[in-house]
């Protein structure tokens, strides 16, 4: 168990989230996404995007260790069920159980909110991401989608993964 704190993101966290998104995204997608796309947005632009999303109420959780934000996860809805729309950790914290703790915390939050299933789209070619979700009990479905890239390269294939959530005493679903 890590010495970590998981909490809801605040507006003041936008820059930290933006930096994590950029560094982790570059590392995680370097084999799948051209550098021209990975490098096209600045920290300032990404911070503005995250500030807007947090202020609009996007359900974002951050994980801290040693008073430093090292990762985040965003939650939403897909087909009236829960969706994990993003999870990113600074690369130096990969494979140290922080991602598992963060995702497990989020899954429990979704279960307590009354969701019966959680979904996540995963790059078909990203074996580490697929293994991560499979270890958490997500199962590959037959549903796929293509994500077109701006540079004209081949589209990325994403596979939909699904997890049945534990049932807690019914609470009001968030709208």
Of 50, 64, 53, whose CA–CA distance to 17 is shortest? 50
Residue 170 has pLDDT above 60, yes or no: no
DSSP reduced 3-state for 95: coil
Residue 79 is predicted with a pLDDT of 82
Is it the case that residue 1 has pLDDT exceeding 80?
no
Ordered DSSP codes for 76-88: EEETTEEEEEEEE
Taking 90 as the threshold, does the pLDDT of residue 149 lie above it?
A: no
Residue 3 β-bridge partners = none
Cα-trace Rg, the chain: 16
What digits encode the pLDDT tens for the residues 99-135? 999 999 999 999 999 999 999 999 998 999 999 999 9
| Mean pLDDT on 159-175 | 73
Contacts of 157 (CB under 8 A, 6+ apart): 123, 124, 125, 144, 145, 146
pLDDT digits (tens, 9 = 90+) for 69-102: 999 999 999 888 999 999 999 999 999 999 999 9
Using CA atoms of 105, 52, 116, 102 in order, give the dihedral in degrees to the nearest 10: -10
Instruction: Give percent above pLDDT 70 in the chain.
Output: 85
Q: Which residue has the higher pLDDT, 47 or 156?
A: 47
**pTM score, whole prediction:** 0.87
Supply the pLDDT for residue 175: 45
pLDDT in tens, 2-51: 789 999 999 999 999 999 998 887 777 666 666 666 667 788 999 999 99
Structural domains of the chain in order of their starting residue, each with its CATH number: 5-164 (3.40.630.30)
Average pLDDT over residues 145-152: 74
Question: Which carries the bigger pLDDT value, residue 91 or residue 171?
Answer: 91
At residue 80, the pLDDT reads 86
Chain centroid offset of residue 44 CA: 21
C-alpha distances (whole Å) from 67 to each of 1, 38, 70, 86 are: 17, 28, 9, 22
Report the run of H or E that residue 49 belongs to, with start and end: helix 43-55
Mean pLDDT computed over 51-75: 96
Please give the pLDDT value at position 68: 96
């Amino acid at each position: 168990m890590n010495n970590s704190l998981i909490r809801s993101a605040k507006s003041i966290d936008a820059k930290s989230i933006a930096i994590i998104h950029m560094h982790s995204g570059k590392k995680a997608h370097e084999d799948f996404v051209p550098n021209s796309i990975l490098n096209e947005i600045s920290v300032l632009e990404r911070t503005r995007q995250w500030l807007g999303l947090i202020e609009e109420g996007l359900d974002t959780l951050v994980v801290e260790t040693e008073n430093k934000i090292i990762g985040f996860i965003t939650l939403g809805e897909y087909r009236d069920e829960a969706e994990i729309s993003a999870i990113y950790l600074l690369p130096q914290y990969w494979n140290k159980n922080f991602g598992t703790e963060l995702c497990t915390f989020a899954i429990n939050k979704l279960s307590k909110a009354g969701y019966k299933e959680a979904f996540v789209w995963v790059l078909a070619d990203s074996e580490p991401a697929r293994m991560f979700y499979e270890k958490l009990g997500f199962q590959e479905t037959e549903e796929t989608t293509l994500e077109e890239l701006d540079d004209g390269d081949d589209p990325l294939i994403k596979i939909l993964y699904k997890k049945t959530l534990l049932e807690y005493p019914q609470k009001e679903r968030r709208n």
